[in-house]
Amino acid sequence: MGKTGIAIYDCDEHEAQLFRTFAAQYGVEPTFIASAASAESAALASGHRAVSVNHKTEITHATLRALKAYGVAYICTRSVGCDHIDLEAAEKLGIAIGNVAYSPASVADYTLMLMLMAIRHARSVLRRADIHHYRLCAVPGRELRDMTVGIVGTGRIGQAVIDRLRGFGCRILAYDICPRAEAEYVTLGELLRQSDIVSLHMPLRADTHHLLDAKRIRGMKRGAIVINTARGPLIDTPALVQALEEGRLGGAALDVIEGEEGIFYRDCTDRPIRHPLLLRLQALPNVIISPHTAFYTEHALRDIVEATIRNCLAFERAKGELVT
């Protein structure tokens, strides 16, 4: 009996090497496709029932229809979220969709880093040091133990952030429609009114799109800092920019942003950025932007690759035991 084949779209060489290592352990045959999954590249997956895609690429109805025509029956996204996949179309076409879980420590650690950078004005300090300007900042930083931190979403990552925050001695508030952590749960409105830092860890769904809308942003504590390492569309970006420019909010640290597609994960040093809100955010000294990189650790990548292979094998063996 031949090895199970998996077509893997758009992964870098480091990720590809992990696939080769785990493929040898699990007895599967990876086929690497350099391009992103699309209707045009679907033919490259011909002969494979299972394919792997990343979270960077929108998997549209047209893409799904083309993959189906070439025999694809299962798509495993190398991410927790599936908001980039047209799930309704996949169901109608009879294509099963799987996702993966990975070390929550990767995003949790990064979230804490962003919090600390934001309250200690790290962006300004480092930029000034780069030009040999070594005076102290005009405004001193703050300490987490003196602050209230609100965690919106207490799944695996939200809980990992809470665990880390306990060591800093700050007050922690939490909001989730399904409370599951040992934390002080309050309504979302109360969390926003009381928190000096608001950190988002909700999945992106229809009911969480623009969870932080203009009204809720107006209801936030004056001078509060927003942290987002989840999904960009959780925030109404124009409303956030306005609140920051007007000085109602004290800052933001964003690893994700609405409209990041086509910008993040690309070298844009020699091309114009056609995202006015991103440019306005980056012009503010109290805003930190990073390119959707919170998940990107060795440990998390190993988790992602191994879970992808195990999911594809489970589908091929018709066990339905998807590793999520």
Catalytic residues: 231, 260, 292
CA 76 to CA 44: how far, in whole Å?
Answer: 16
Give, in order, the Cα–Cα distances in Å from 210 to each of 149, 213, 217.
20, 5, 10
Residue 140 CB-density burial (10 A; 0-12 exposed, 13-18 middle, 19+ buried): exposed
Angle in degrees, CA 55, 61, 67, rounded to 5: 80
Q: How far is CA 111 from the centre of its chain?
A: 11
Give me the helix-helix angle, 298-316 and 104-119, nearest 10°. 150
CB atoms within 10 A of CB 207: 9
Nearest to 154 by CA among 108, 103, 205: 108
**List of residues 6+ apart from 206 with CB closer than 8 A:** none
Phi-psi region of 263 (alpha: psi -120 to 50; beta: other; left: phi over 0): alpha
